[in-house]
């Protein structure tokens, strides 16, 4: 074994240490403790959201679906079908008209005179139009139309202003510390001025939010009032038009009935007068009287048949009107169902927005401690740390000493694992 006694070259080592200032060390320790508590699932377990996430169907939508499911053909269509079928049977019977054969001779002494009187016409009067009124905007209307989320928006703006103020505090404190005024009267005045400005800013945010919400409510109220006034005017115009049409229809129907009755009386009177004159002027031949009577009876039958055909035509026209009314009723019901569905969808969307906002508020509440912890961590990362460096010179190890030290270490390790005799 050979060894060298030459000393080894000295080694150079540079050690750099970075320390947190003493006044910031308690904040860092509390920050680490809070971080450990927040990330410990035993102390801060996972909290699931227990609220509703999806908006269900509202009563208006359910009513619209129930109305659609219960819809069927209008009752007027069945009535119109029955009237049209009855009119067809009556027209078929009227088409089988056959002229009557005279069975006896006409007796002029049996002809009597019938007086003719015109029916009295009834007086119809149309009702007056409905009154149209507009509402007045007041405190109750403002509270009804103001947005329920206005205060949430204002609170978020206030929170942002407070956060901006909190971000300025470390810089102000650092400046006060550098100038040696930390904790003094000047520092207190600066902090008081900052708090006063913050309170004024928060008050301004609240006033501006309330004023804007009031103006929006007033504008929406004016829009609704304009729509309501327009709808009332349209309803009034429609009522006047309907009243005029109904009045004209009543007058026309009354005039038509009176004219037909008077014409029928005049024809009957003329027929009776003609029969009487023929009976008085031609008494010589009984057969001729009988033939004249048969002809007058046949004319009366034909006149009655013509009146029956006119009634059938009116019945068919009424059936057509009933069919049109049934179709109009069906279209109105479809329009009502569509309006209910649209309003229900808007209410469901509003409910879904409220549920989404509640869920976002829940998430913000859960993230709030972590946000505050991150804000404190950002502040501590912005604190200047002190750094110290030193250079250490050490003598290099002797190979012989390393060999001897290694042997002694192995021997000690061997004795540690060797059993010791007892007694």
Confidence of residue 230 (pLDDT cuts 50, 70, 90): confident
Q: For the chain, how far is it from start to end, CA to CA, in angstroms?
A: 41
Average pLDDT, the chain: 75
Q: What percent of the chain has pLDDT over 90?
A: 2
C-alpha–C-alpha distance, residues 191 and 185, integer Å: 10
Q: What is the per-residue pLDDT for 238?
A: 86
The per-residue pLDDT for range 6-45, each reduced to its tens digit, is 555 566 777 666 677 888 888 888 888 888 888 888 888 8
Q: What is the per-residue pLDDT for 212?
A: 83
Q: Which residue has the higher pLDDT, 265 or 12?
A: 265
The per-residue pLDDT for range 163-203, each reduced to its tens digit, is 887 887 777 777 767 766 666 677 777 778 888 888 888 88
C-alpha–C-alpha distance, residues 308 and 321, integer Å: 20
Model-wide pTM > 0.75: no
Report in angstroms the alpha-carbon separations of 299 from 107, 257, 270: 17, 21, 12
C-alpha–C-alpha distance, residues 301 and 290, integer Å: 16
C-alpha–C-alpha distance, residues 204 and 328, integer Å: 57
The per-residue pLDDT for range 128-171, each reduced to its tens digit, is 666 766 667 676 777 777 777 777 888 888 888 888 878 877 77
Task: Evaluate whether residue 293 is within a structural domain.
Answer: yes
Task: Evaluate whether residue 328 is within a structural domain.
Answer: yes
Number of domains into which the chain is organized: 1
Task: Evaluate whether residue 402 is within a structural domain.
Answer: no
Q: What is the per-residue pLDDT for 415?
A: 43
Per-residue pLDDT at 284 exceeds 70? no
Task: Evaluate whether residue 122 is within a structural domain.
Answer: no
Q: Which residue has the higher pLDDT, 348 or 92?
A: 348
Confidence of residue 289 (pLDDT cuts 50, 70, 90): low
Task: Evaluate whether residue 267 is within a structural domain.
Answer: yes
Q: What is the per-residue pLDDT for 357?
A: 92
C-alpha–C-alpha distance, residues 8 and 21, integer Å: 40
Report in angstroms the alpha-carbon separations of 101 from 96, 291, 399: 15, 10, 160
Task: Evaluate whether residue 296 is within a structural domain.
Answer: yes
C-alpha–C-alpha distance, residues 176 and 155, integer Å: 31
C-alpha–C-alpha distance, residues 368 and 391, integer Å: 46
Task: Evaluate whether residue 121 is within a structural domain.
Answer: no
Range of the domain at 100: 16-44+56-115+150-396
Task: Evaluate whether residue 105 is within a structural domain.
Answer: yes
């Amino acid at each position: 074994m050979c060894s060298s006694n030459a000393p080894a070259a000295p080694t150079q080592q540079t050690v750099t240490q970075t320390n947190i200032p003493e006044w910031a060390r308690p904040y860092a320790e509390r920050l680490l403790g809070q971080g450990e508590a927040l990330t410990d699932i035993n102390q801060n377990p996972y909290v699931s959201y227990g609220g509703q996430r999806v908006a269900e169907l509202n009563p208006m939508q359910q009513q619209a679906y129930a109305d659609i499911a219960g819809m069927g053909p209008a009752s007027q269509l069945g009535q119109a079908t029955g009237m049209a079928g009855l009119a067809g049977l009556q027209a078929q019977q009227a088409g089988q008209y056959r002229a009557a054969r005279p069975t006896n001779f006409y007796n002029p002494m049996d002809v009597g005179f019938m007086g003719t009187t015109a029916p009295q016409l009834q007086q119809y009067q149309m009702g007056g139009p409905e009154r149209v009124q507009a509402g007045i905007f007041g405190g109750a209307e403002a509270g009804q139309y103001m947005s329920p989320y206005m205060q949430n928006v204002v609170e978020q703006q206030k929170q942002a202003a407070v956060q901006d103020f909190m971000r300025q505090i470390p810089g102000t404190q650092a400046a006060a510390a550098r100038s040696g005024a930390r904790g003094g009267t000047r520092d207190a005045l600066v902090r008081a001025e900052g708090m006063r400005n913050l309170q004024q800013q928060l008050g301004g945010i609240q006033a501006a939010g309330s004023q804007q919400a009031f103006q929006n409510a007033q504008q929406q109220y004016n829009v609704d009032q304009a729509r309501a006034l327009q709808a009332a005017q349209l309803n009034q115009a429609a009522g006047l038009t309907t009243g005029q049409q109904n009045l004209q229809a009543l007058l026309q129907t009354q005039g038509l009935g009176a004219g037909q009755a008077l014409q029928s009386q005049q024809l009957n009177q003329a027929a009776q007068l003609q029969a009487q004159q023929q009976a008085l002027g031609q008494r010589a031949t009984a057969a001729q009287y009988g033939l004249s009577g048969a002809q007058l009876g046949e004319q009366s039958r034909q006149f009655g048949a013509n009146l029956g055909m006119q009634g059938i035509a009116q019945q068919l026209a009424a059936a057509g009107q009933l069919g049109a009314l049934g179709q109009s009723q069906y279209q109105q019901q479809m329009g009502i169902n569509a309006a209910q569905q649209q309003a229900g969808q808007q209410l469901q969307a509003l409910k879904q927005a409220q549920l989404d906002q509640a869920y976002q508020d829940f998430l913000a509440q859960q993230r709030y401690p972590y946000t505050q912890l991150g804000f404190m961590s950002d502040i501590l990362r912005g604190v200047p740390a002190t750094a110290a460096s030193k250079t250490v010179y050490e003598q290099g190890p002797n190979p012989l000493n390393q060999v001897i030290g290694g042997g002694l270490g192995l021997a000690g390790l061997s004795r540690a694992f060797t059993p010791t005799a007892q007694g």
